[in-house]
């Protein structure tokens, strides 16, 4: 059956399904970091308010377990691990098992997190259980994302865009869910329970969407692989996501990269020159030499971002008197504002790409972001013993967060768009895989540095 005779996506059901699947893959990470005040309260053993999602601006819970640092680190290490192992893992385990198994495991682990809201557990075992959940949930999320990107490699590029859009909105969805839970007027325990049940519903909906794909003619047409095609299409992710003419940017959270072989059995041999049919296998070292500076910029962008967000930024409280604003300050000005502006920053690459790949301004702009580290550390963080507070007013923190989030989204999207322009067309798959590895490396480096910066406060 020729590609030109592909069926229509009736009522855009396949597009909606991939959008929801994209949303579901990043819900766990965003719901965990947005609920940092809840976890800190539980770990501090604060009776009565231990389960609230809000933050008491006059006496915030003491983060004796460094929860925000550990949750960030243990969320990013599985990404780095599975970025290295996915070539082996994806060839050994069937695709349906990877996707459905990961979704079910994430659902069960999140149900456990929701159930713990109603269970009185001492801080030490609660911390251990939560950290184990964070590790395994993000491990399954890493497998899930890579597997879904493998499927997207067989779909039109529009569906990759929808999937990425869903992932980009996951953080906004989590922040809004937190604000609504706090504003619901119910007791703190019920508010927290409702908050953690929300991602469970999202994961259930993702399972339904995935199961429905096999019953949709449009999805079945593209996803039904011939046995000879499957290994080449599932090695890791499509390079088309990182094509030079990609106008959609990427989400703020890591994705799996794939080394796909550009083989199309339907292409007539006489239409393509012999040398174009079998291009020389690209060398990883050769590709790295071409994109090393762009890759380094990507590492530095994420290193700065994860070193202070959310480890430091989640500790910033309002300098105003206790009240509604101080209660909603961190959920709105830290998490919601970051995700909205980060999404806006990524969207800017749809209209222009500046600076260009040969400009020395890109490394300069990336290095300037290191200024955000001391700026956030000198904001109104009550739990400090070394550094002074030089920016106590809320307006300072909001301004810093606006610039911090927009620059993160824009520079990450820009580097991922520029990298394919620096290599030959047949080297773009390798460039995409390398950039994804360095993306994961930057996230892990930033999460590790957050312990140092927290200790310096």
Mean pLDDT, residues 42-48 taken together: 67
Least confident of 103-112, 117-126, 205-214, 237-246: 237-246
Instruction: Write out the residue range of the structural domain in which residue 370 sits.
Output: 11-263+280-456
Q: Which pLDDT tens digit goes with each residue over 350-362?
A: 888 888 877 789 9
Identify any residues that bridge with 379 across adjacent strands, giving them in sequence order. 391
Give the domain CATH number at 182: 1.20.1250.20
Instruction: Report whether 92 contacts 241 (CB < 8 A).
Output: no
Question: Rounded to whole angstroms, what are the CA distances from 285 to 282, 289, 292, 430, 436?
Answer: 9, 6, 10, 10, 16
What's the CA dihedral at 122, 126, 127, 131 to 10 degrees? Answer: 170
Residue 54 lies in a domain: yes
Q: How confident is the model at residue 62 (pLDDT cuts 50, 70, 90)?
A: low
Residue 3 lies in a domain: no
Residue 112 lies in a domain: yes
How many Cα atoms occupy the beta-carbon half-sphere of 455 within 13 Å? 5
Q: How confident is the model at residue 277 (pLDDT cuts 50, 70, 90)?
A: low
Top pLDDT among 241 and 207 is at: 207
Instruction: Report whether 45 contacts 123 (CB < 8 A).
Output: yes
Residue 271 lies in a domain: no
Q: Which value, in Å, is the radius of gyration of the alpha carbons in the chain? A: 22
Number of domains in the chain: 1
Can you state the angle between helices 36-44 and 67-92, rounded to 10 degrees?
Answer: 120
Top pLDDT among 55 and 434 is at: 434
Asked if pLDDT for residue 238 goes beyond 70, the answer is: no
Residue 331 to residue 174: CA distance in whole angstroms: 10
The DSSP H or E segment spanning 345 is: helix 337-347
3-state helix, strand, coil in the chain (%, to 5): 70, 0, 30
Top pLDDT among 16 and 226 is at: 16
- Average per-residue pLDDT in the chain? 82
At residue 455, the pLDDT reads 92
Mean pLDDT, residues 151-169 taken together: 83
Asked if pLDDT for residue 232 goes beyond 60, the answer is: no
At residue 83, the pLDDT reads 79
Asked if pLDDT for residue 231 goes beyond 50, the answer is: no
Residue 28 to residue 209: CA distance in whole angstroms: 18
Residue 384 to residue 315: CA distance in whole angstroms: 10
pTM higher than the cut 0.85 = no
Please state whether the peptide bond connecting residue 310 to the residue before it is cis, i.e. omega within 30 degrees of 0.
yes
Instruction: Report whether 299 contacts 441 (CB < 8 A).
Output: yes
Residue 165 lies in a domain: yes
Asked if pLDDT for residue 348 goes beyond 60, the answer is: yes
Q: Which pLDDT tens digit goes with each residue over 178-216?
A: 999 888 878 778 888 889 999 999 999 999 999 999 899
Top pLDDT among 257 and 399 is at: 399
Residue 2 lies in a domain: no
Residue 107 to residue 28: CA distance in whole angstroms: 9
Residue 6 lies in a domain: no
Instruction: Report whether 114 contacts 38 (CB < 8 A).
Output: no
Q: For tokens 């508010």, what's the residue? A: 191
Residue 275 lies in a domain: no
Give the closest residue to 332 by CA, choosing from 322, 346, 317.
Answer: 317
Asked if pLDDT for residue 375 goes beyond 60, the answer is: yes
Rounded percentage of the chain residues whose pLDDT exceeds 90 = 45
Q: How confident is the model at residue 115 (pLDDT cuts 50, 70, 90)?
A: very high
At residue 448, the pLDDT reads 95
At residue 416, the pLDDT reads 87
């Amino acid at each position: 059956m020729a590609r030109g005779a592909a069926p229509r996506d009736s009522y855009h059901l396949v597009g909606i399904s991939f959008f929801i699947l994209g949303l579901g893959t990043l819900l766990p990470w965003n719901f965990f970091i947005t609920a940092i005040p809840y976890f800190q309260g539980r770990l501090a053993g604060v009776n009565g308010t231990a389960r609230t999602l809000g933050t008491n601006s006059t006496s915030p819970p003491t983060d004796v377990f460094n929860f925000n640092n550990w949750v960030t680190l243990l969320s990013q290490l599985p990404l780095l691990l599975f970025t290295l192992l996915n070539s082996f893992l994806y060839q050994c385990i069937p695709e349906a098992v990877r996707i459905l198994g990961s979704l079910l495991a994430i659902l069960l682990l999140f149900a456990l997190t929701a159930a713990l809201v109603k269970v009185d557990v001492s801080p030490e075992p609660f911390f251990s259980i939560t950290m184990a959940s964070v590790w395994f949930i993000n491990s399954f999320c890493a497998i899930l994302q890579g597997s879904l990107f493998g499927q997207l490699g067989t779909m039109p590029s529009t569906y990759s865009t929808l999937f990425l859009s869903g992932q980009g909105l996951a953080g906004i969805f989590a922040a809004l869910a937190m604000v609504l839970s706090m504003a619901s007027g119910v007791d703190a325990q019920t508010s927290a329970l409702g908050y953690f049940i929300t991602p469970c519903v999202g994961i259930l909906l993702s399972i339904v969407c995935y199961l429905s794909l096999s019953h949709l003619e449009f999805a079945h047409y593209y996803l039904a692989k011939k046995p000879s095609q499957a290994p080449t299409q599932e090695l890791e992710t499509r390079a088309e996501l990182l094509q030079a003419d990609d106008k959609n940017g990427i989400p703020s959270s890591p994705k799996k990269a794939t080394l796909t072989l550009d083989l199309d059995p339907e292409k007539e041999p006489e239409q393509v020159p012999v040398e174009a049919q079998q291009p020389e296998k690209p060398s990883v070292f050769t590709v790295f030499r071409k994109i090393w500076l762009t890759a380094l910029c990507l590492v530095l962008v994420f290193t700065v971002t994860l070193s202070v967000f959310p480890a430091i930024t989640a500790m910033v409280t309002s300098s105003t008197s206790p009240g509604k604003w101080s209660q909603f300050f961190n959920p709105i000005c830290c998490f919601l504002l970051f995700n909205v502006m980060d999404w806006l920053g990524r969207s800017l690459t749809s209209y222009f790409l500046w600076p260009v790949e040969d400009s020395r301004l890109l490394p300069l702009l990336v290095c300037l972001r290191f200024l955000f580290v001391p700026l956030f550390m000198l904001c109104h963080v009550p739990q400090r013993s070394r550094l002074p507070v030089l920016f106590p007013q809320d307006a300072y923190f909001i301004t810093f967060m606006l610039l911090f989030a927009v620059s993160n989204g824009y520079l990450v999207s820009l580097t991922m768009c520029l990298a394919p322009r620096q290599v030959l067309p047949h080297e773009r798959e390798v460039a995409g895989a390398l950039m994804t590895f360095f993306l994961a490396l930057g996230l892990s480096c930033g999460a590790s540095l957050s312990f140092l910066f927290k200790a310096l406060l």
